[in-house]
Amino acid sequence: MRQRQNYFVFNKPADYRRGWGDNIQCLGSSIRAEDPARPGILWSRLLDSREKETVWHRLTMDCCSLGEASIRFAFYCAESRTLPFRGETWDLEELLRSPDLTDEDRREAFAPFLARTALSPRDILLHDLTGRYLWFRAELLPQGGQSPEVGRLMLRFPKETWLQYLPEVYQAEAAGRSFTERFLGIFQSLYDDLDRDIRQVARYFDPDVVGGEYLEWLAGWLDVEDGYLWPEEKLRTLVRRGMELYRIRGTRRYVVEMVKLYTGREPWVVEHSEVEPFLTDVGRSALLGELYGESPYMVTMILEGDALESNEAYKALLRIIDNAKPAWVEVNLVVLTPYLFLDQYSYLGINSTLDRYRPLDLDGSSALPFTRLGGESEQGIS
């Protein structure tokens, strides 16, 4: 009967802080050296398998190294939770977390329990580690002012090997050291990772959980083009409403909804059919044509001035609108400014603002202000 595997994970700050660290900075699910001028040291919390003579199975982690020797791990195993050190009996957990001990003190105390060392161990088998209790020391060595990072550590136990499925003649080799067992371990690790991804595939379809490139991939399933243009939380909302919006694609409402999702503001939309009745006025037709276009396929979308934070956001919104509109429609995107311009995009009560009076300074550096209607100066009415 196949034995169920258990695991310990380190994927949040609390997991790392339960041990002891020197010059360690927590970055959510990972850690790095806080001061890139000296090494960062982490002693993990005590990991209890609750079974004597446990043979540990495998360690995986996300690792961003600066060379093979920039990340060093040392693994320790013990059957007893207590040990003598400098004439006293210590609890392993107390010894690991004591603020009165230095890194050198811990290395001295745990030297008899050192089971294995490894450099930048992204994925390794731990079949040579035996003991109920396991803990590790991670050393991060910065280089060139940058620190390596490790995160999302997962320690699996107990040992599981495909050797048990082979005829007895292959199982007769020394357990944990046989070439056959280590060779099968390569394919077993690949199979285990693939099996886990298949069993957890549902999480990749939940917009409230998935993030990063997987969120963009999920958006692609709903035919959302250029998902990289969207901030993650807004893209998450877009994916969540994907089916609702897909039903109205190609309509005015769809384009408006896309603009609202990206900017948080509802735009004003002026279509040619709304301007057409006023084109019979010869005095207005030229101005209206300049502002709202003369083509029946021209649509003007108007946004408040603070709806977009930067020129890059403006360009991104243009791309989003271009993907959302029907192919034969041309959209003119206008972002209002809070000034009063005659014969321009000035709308009473929206952006028709008369600024305070400012006297003109001929100092060679002040810009000529826009024309304003009167105002009160510091000396009186001008």
Q: What is the pLDDT along the chain (382 residues), one digit of tens a residue?
A: 456 789 999 999 999 999 999 999 999 899 999 999 999 999 999 999 999 999 999 999 998 888 878 999 999 999 999 999 988 899 999 999 999 999 999 999 999 999 999 998 889 999 889 999 999 999 999 998 899 999 999 999 998 888 888 887 777 765 545 778 888 888 988 998 888 888 888 888 888 888 888 888 888 888 888 888 889 899 999 999 988 988 898 899 999 999 999 998 899 888 888 888 787 777 778 777 778 888 888 898 888 878 888 889 999 999 999 998 988 989 889 888 766 666 677 776 676 665 555 666 666 665 555 544 434 433 333 3
In this prediction, residue 218 carries a pLDDT of 87
Tokens for 301, please give them. 């979308």
Select from 2.40.30, 2.60.120, 2.60.40, 2.160.20 the CATH code of 6-160: 2.60.120
pTM of the model: 0.62
* Beta strand extents in 17-57 (DSSP E only): 20-22, 24-27, 30-33, 40-43, 47-48
Report CA Rg, the chain.
33
380's CB contacts (< 8 A; 6+ apart) are none
Q: What was the pLDDT predicted at 374?
A: 39
- 116 three-state secondary structure: strand
pLDDT at 343: 65
* Residues 354, 355, 358, 361, CA torsion sign: negative
Cα gap 45→347, rounded to integer Å: 65
pLDDT at 365: 62
Strands 330-335 and 298-303: parallel
Range(s) for CATH 2.60.120 in the chain? 6-160
d(CA 242, CA 49): 45
The answer to whether the beta carbons of residues 147 and 138 sit under 8 Å apart is no
Instruction: Give me the amino acid identity at 104.
Output: E
What's the confidence (pLDDT) of residue 20? Answer: 94
